[in-house]
Amino acid sequence: MSKYITVIRPRHWIKNILCLAGIIFSGNFVHFSELIKASSVLIAFSIAASSVYVLNDLIDAPKDKLHHNKQHRPIANGKISSFAAQCLFLGLFVTSLIISWHISKTLLLIIIIYIVLNIAYSLKLKQIPILDVYIISFGFILRLLAGTLAIGIMPTKWIIICTFMISLFFGFVKRYCEMKSSTQITREVILKYSSTTLEKLISITASCTILSYSIFVIGKEQILLTITILPVCYAIFHIILDLNMKQKGEDFSKELFANAHLIISLMIWIISYCLISFYA
């Protein structure tokens, strides 16, 4: 069972927390029925994301066998057969569609787009520099739309832009980590980047993230929300500091959420935003 848990990567479900953005930014988190519906969206998207992880490992298995870390993945090392992986992908895919259909037809459409886009990414698009990170970032936009449109909330243009920019930021940071830490690069697109280019892209997207989030909160009625810009800036600055000082490895999501500074910044941001939205 542990090999199947490994291949669906539940630790990566943290990315799908964006599906709760709708009720957080709208202030509807105080309504239990809305919270349940948003949580259902989160579950559906997490299952869909796991199906994509399985498919990606299935396609990349031949290359993963040559990688010093990825060779230990269950599909690459043969612990899960190709047929079993295909069945797992299909099962997760269908389950996510069934749950989505019961929640919202909009959610069903968003998840279909997400899975089709990721199939195209796994087969070809991940080999194209810049576009590879764009596709990943668009996946986060779909998470945001799933957590808003699917439960009847209209996202603002600035929160969409901010989501896209911070997703690009994390995407380029991950590529930079992969470039600096790999002893044997198996992700071909990494060879099409340079460290200088990635450093520039990281700086640009970090600036755009802070600017777009600042405009988003300034546009709100509660002036106290501008305080939440502080933990956002601190988190981004600390990621860049950690990136340049330590240049840690490829499992960026694992290392990122093991950083106390970032965890505390995230908690301060969530608590302060919710309290100000509810009480101000």
Comparing CA positions, the residue from 113, 93, 1 lying closest to residue 47 is 93
Higher confidence at residue 64 or residue 43?
A: 43
CATH code for residues 1-155: 1.10.357.140
**Residue 152 region by backbone torsions, left for phi larger than 0, else alpha for psi between -120 and 50, else beta:** left
Neighbours of 280 (CB within 10 A): 11
* Number of C-beta neighbours around residue 182 at 10 A: 16
pLDDT value at residue 82: 83
Distance, CA of 261 to CA of 239 (rounded, Å): 9
Burial class, 119, CB count within 10 angstroms (exposed 0-12 / middle 13-18 / buried 19+): middle
Q: Which residue has the higher pLDDT, 120 or 23?
A: 120
Residue closest to 110 by CA, chosen among 73, 148, 75, 72: 148
Digit-coded pLDDT (tens) for 176-219:
888 877 555 556 788 889 989 999 999 999 999 999 999 999 98
Q: Given this model, what pLDDT does residue 57 score?
A: 84
Q: How far is CA 66 from CA 52, 77, 184, 215, in A?
A: 21, 10, 8, 46
Q: Are 58 and 85 in contact (CB under 8 A)?
A: yes
pLDDT score at 59: 84
What does the DSSP assignment read for 123-155?
HTGGGSTTHHHHHHHHHHHHHHHHTTGGGT---
Q: Per-residue confidence at 142, pLDDT binned at 50, 70, 90?
A: very high
pTM: 0.84
Written as six digits, the tokens of 33 are: 């029925």
